[in-house]
Structure 1
Amino acid sequence: MTAELLVNITPSETRVAYIDGGILQEIHIEREARRGIVGNIYKGRVSRVLPGMQAAFVDIGLEKAAFLHASDIMPHTECVAGDEKKNFIVRDISELVRQGQDLMVQVVKDPLGTKGARLTTDITLPSRYLVFMPGASHVGVSQRIESEAERNRLKAVVAAYCDELGGYIIRTAAEGVGEDELASDAAFLKRLWTKVIERKKRNKTRCRLYGEVALSQRILRDFAGAALDRIRIDSRLSFEHLLEFTGEYIPEMTAKLELYTGKQPIFDLFDVENEIQRSLDRKVELKSGGYLIIDQTEAMTTVDINTGAFVGHRNLEETIFNTNIEATQAIARQLRLRNLGGIIIIDFIDMNNEDHRRRVLHSLEQALSKDRVKTGVNGFSQLGLVEMTRKRTRESIEHVLCQDCRVCKGRGTLKTVETVCYEIMREIVRVHHAYDSDRFLVYASPSVGEALKSDESHALAEVEIFVGKQVKVQVEPLYTQEQFDVVMM
């Protein structure tokens, strides 16, 4: 089974599709207008020191001066235990920096409104499995890697890569990763830091030394060491940039790059465009005739499984079991494709057989093992729901591509015609009590206006008798179903 990346480039947007076995597994989208500067490294100059705020303003070449607090001028403390951190004392800002001084800083927060960017001098460079800490001499391990044996293994492997340039933090994604991938990441980060130092020596102040790479380069960095057969790019300019990028930082991937020159759009090759559209639907059809319902809320994502048209061949218990097993594969793919993170609750069809429940859970864990993002399955709860988590790494595809409907305001439902008609009648009575008028004119949507003139005409007539005034209805074709106005005449 082949695996490849399709890179679609337009001036304002970059999209990358990960195809495995001919099926879309992941989609990544980045729009130029929404790219931030978090992670960028600058050579800046202190323009003002504010002892009263224990902070300084630093000119890094942006429209607004950036903000550097005394607490952000600290040595690497990411891997230090909580008790030890108390020993680090924040010194007075006047002792740490002076006006006119040149500093190498990294952006930790984008400019917002009237505020400039937030900076730190505690610079880090991330890759897929490691974070490089210039000047540090130790190795830290993510707290989310819980196995002590695995923590010790990773620490022993990565310790060999520490030298006078710096140390490393081992990221959660490194759990279970082999030595070759870790060595590749460490070498990549050292090359990157060397380039930053060279630029610092070569360039004047108020300039960018390192920018968080664009999506196409970030994806190649994150897929370094993955079993990819080829990477197809539909832009000659981007293809040349990626050739240069891989040649400098990931030479083992250069041979996999291909310039796509086909006549049909690159995303039509594996039906990617249609798959993106389907990933926005609540309902996901299963091959057997069953289906999933996926609802993304603020607090969590819920997945409901139904047998639908699948009636099975033996008995109800087998039908339910087979539907749930098929659903585990679909769920794992949909979580990756939609990039759903946080708490995920799965409502499998109820199973009375304990062996069936165990096998469904195992099937889900096996399907999730292919996910590049860390997941955790907590098993069936007392209510028969499977609780799991998936690390949030970026916005879900729905949040990137969609916004709340201005008609339903994100509810996903509309008030019925009948409900709106009754609201209009109550509004007429309210206005009648509040103001003097001779008659009322109601502006409503076509569906509501039609109902007021037909199905609800008797109720509207009773309102006219109650208020003792004439009510006229006028249809407004551009009004939405919930929109109406009651005007005094």
Structure 2
Amino acid sequence: MFGFLRRDRSKREIIINCENLEIRAAVMENGRLEELMIEHPTSERIVGSIFKGRIQNLEHDLQAAFVDIGWKKNAFLHYWDMVPEDARRDSDDEADEGPRERRRSYEGREIERRFPIGSEIMVQVTKGPIGTKGPRVTAAISLPGRYIVMMPGSRLKGVSRKITDESERNRLKKILARLPVPDGMGVIIRTAGAGASKGSFVEDLERLLGIWAGIQKTAAEKPAPCCLYQEPDLVDRVVRDWMSDDIDRIVIDSKDKYEKIREVAGQISRRARSKIVLYDGEAPIFDHFGVERQVEETFQKRVNLKSGGYIVFDETEAMIAIDVNTGRHKGRGAQEEAILEVNTEAVEEIARQLRLRNIGGIIVIDLIDMKSRKHQSAVYKAMKAALKRDKARTNVLPISELGLMEMTRQRVEESLFASTYSPCPYCRGHGVVKSALGVSVELQRQLLAVLRKRDRTKPASGLNIVVHPTVLERLRREDEHFLIDLQSRFEGSLTFKSDPAKHVEFFAISDAATGEILYSSM
């Protein structure tokens, strides 16, 4: 057996599982899952793609345009995202150009003059379709490379805020000033650019300029709507965005992809190329490296903490509700200290779970009540620190008087749960069904209505009632006297039948003589 098949103590490694219908990449730190990326090759990659679209309508009240990009639903384009420079002020996280300016509000006439209905516009998808909503797009195009992000139509130039070493920032700014960047082209040095040579930046820039030239050529030749550019697949993006000195190795289970990313990594350095390893073990790669079990945990509502406490996730269309509980936790000291310990561990785990589950939107965390302002501040700071490693934009507020922590997280695509599961057709997505008591109550209510109506219009006759076996058991054991009373009051016979093939909430009332359905619950 090859040495790499033995689980070693690598500090950071990326495990990639390639299958026909799904590609998964997991970033592991000392055997613990920290990042999870999933892509389906049979589905079109839309986030990051660039389209030549056609404006379908302008909604001044919404301050937005709807653009036909050839997708199932028209794309949503805010007015402030229609002008690249205005869009940059709010959307860019990498630049160091000082505080963001407030979004500008546009007059309807100005937009109609600059972007009349039916006109063509080049846009890039920033958020995929979620639920009933179409994709969201921007006219502020950005092309990410290994070391830089290139932004056509922008004057912005800067260095990633995440590079904090002042001497390195100064070195990179000097390199940036000497790069042969064409006029009307913005450039931001990415975090991966720290320590890179000037030649690496030049090569990256030349490659991106070539891609942009191809996009412009396609835009000139093809009519709208059409796709001009699509982001590379997940495996290529992992090498581009994640390969760095602190990654010890990338292990992949596909021979073809292995050869491809070794070639890509070789363009970075020989050392990077040597970090790519092919897995050919008998067990599935995620099982072998202990990833599968941790992935399955991300689909569970309840997450247990090492301290004995636990977290409960409830994902709804409006927001994500997260509840923190002490569970079996037994604090060593005072109760307040024990609560602080659980809450601190909880927010650190919540930050990790948000990344793994790809949860976005409004998030409300119900922490265990803390009386001490000092403790509340400590938990808030712990959450802020834990969110620093999140690539998605986040905004978290201090703990409220009700003990709630409110935050938002950038939502680019559907959550892992929403993209993997579909609503249960049996319970219609509720997760629960009516109890036998609930069905019995509804049945008796509708049965009484049918009997009253027949009492006025027709002579007494029998009724057939079909129910699920569990409901019939309830009727026989606990509700029989109510039904006997109904039967005697309206002088008609009631015949009950069970059908295990029916839904547990189903019942139907029909005329025994004619077979006419008088009422059906479903």
- TM above 0.5, yes or no, is yes
For 1:194, the equivalent position in structure 2 comes to: 210
Q: 1:125 aligns with which of 136, 143, 150?
A: 143
What is the alpha-carbon distance in structure 2 between the residues aligned to residue 289 and residue 84 of structure 1?
51
| Distance in structure 2 (CA, Å) of the matches to 1:472 and 1:229 | 72
- Structure 1 residue 234: Cα displacement: 0.8
User: What is the deviation of 1:418?
Assistant: 0.6
2:474 to 451, 454, 475: 451
| Distance change in 2, residues 1:404/1:88 (3 Å) | closer
CA offset digits 1:165-220 (Å, max 9, x no partner): 7523659xx6x887448987885354133145369779995597642211222233
Cα pair 1:14 1:30 within 8 Å, conserved: yes
Alignment partners' CA distance in 1, 2:366 and 2:138:
44
Structure 1 residue 163 corresponds to structure 2 residue 172 = no
Listed as ranges, the gaps of 5+ residues in structure 1 are 51-59, 98-103, 112-116
1:6 and 2:30 aligned: no
Within 2, Cα distance between the matches of 1:358 and 1:385?
13
1:298 aligns with 2:317: yes
Give the corresponding residue for 2:389: 370
Q: How does 1:41-52 map to 2 (within 5 A)?
A: none
* Contact map agreement 1:345 1:388 (CA 8 A) in 2: yes
Q: 1:47-446 to 2 correspondence within 5 Å?
A: 78-79=87-88, 90=113, 123-126=141-144, 131-134=149-152, 136-139=154-157, 160=177, 161=179, 163-164=181-182, 167-168=185-186, 179-180=194-195, 188=204, 190-195=206-211, 197=213, 205=221, 210-225=229-244, 227-247=246-266, 253-434=272-453, 438-446=461-469
Question: What is the SS of the residue equivalent to 1:227?
Answer: coil
Shift, 1:345, TM fit? 1.6
Residue equivalent to 1:114: none
User: 2:246 is paired with a residue of what secondary structure?
Assistant: coil
Pair 443,283 (structure 1): closer, same or farther in 2 beyond 3 Å: same
Shift of 1:135: 5.6
TM superposition shift of 1:320: 1.9
Tell me the secondary structure at the aligned position of residue 15 of structure 1: strand
C-alpha distance in 1, partners of 2:106/2:194? 31
Q: 1:415 to 1:256 in 2, by over 3 A?
A: same
Report the alpha carbon displacement of residue 88 of structure 1 after superposing the two structures with TM: 8.6
Distance 1:367 1:49 in 2: 41
* Alignment deviations for residues 311-363 of structure 1 (CA, whole Å, 9 cap, x no partner): 33334333322222222232222112112122222222112233322322233
Letter in 2 for 1:268: D
Q: Given residue 26 of structure 2, which amino acid in structure 1 is its aligned partner?
A: A
Q: Aligned partners of 1:389, 1:63: CA distance in 2, in Å? A: 28
Cα separation, partners in 2 of 1:130 and 1:77, compared to 1, 3 Å: farther
Task: Return closer, same or farther for 1:153/1:335 CA change in 2, 3 Å cut-off.
Answer: farther
Report the identity percentage.
Answer: 33
SS of the counterpart of 2:378? helix
How far the C-alpha of 1:9 sits from its partner, in A, is: 1.1
AA paired with 1:287? Answer: K
Partner-residue secondary structure (3-state), 1:327: helix
TM-score, normalised on structure 1? 0.76
Unpaired runs of 5+ in structure 2?
Answer: 1-9, 57-68, 90-100, 130-134, 513-522
The whole-number CA distance in structure 2 between the counterparts of 1:11 and 1:36 is: 15
**Aligned residue-pair number:** 458
Contact in 2 for aligned 1:441/1:488 (Cα 8 Å): yes
Amino acid at match of 1:267: F
Moved more, 342-351 or 203-212: 203-212
Which residue pairs with 1:30 in the alignment?
Answer: 39
Q: TM-score by structure 2 length? A: 0.72
- Within a 5 Å distance, the mapping from 1:469-488 to structure 2 comes to 469-488=492-511
Query: CA 1:250–1:74 in 2, change beyond 3 Å: closer, same or farther?
Result: farther
Instruction: Label 1:162 to 1:427 Cα distance change in 2 as closer, same or farther (>3 A).
Output: farther
1:463 Cα deviation (Å)? 2.8
Q: Which residue type is aligned with residue 152 of structure 2? A: P
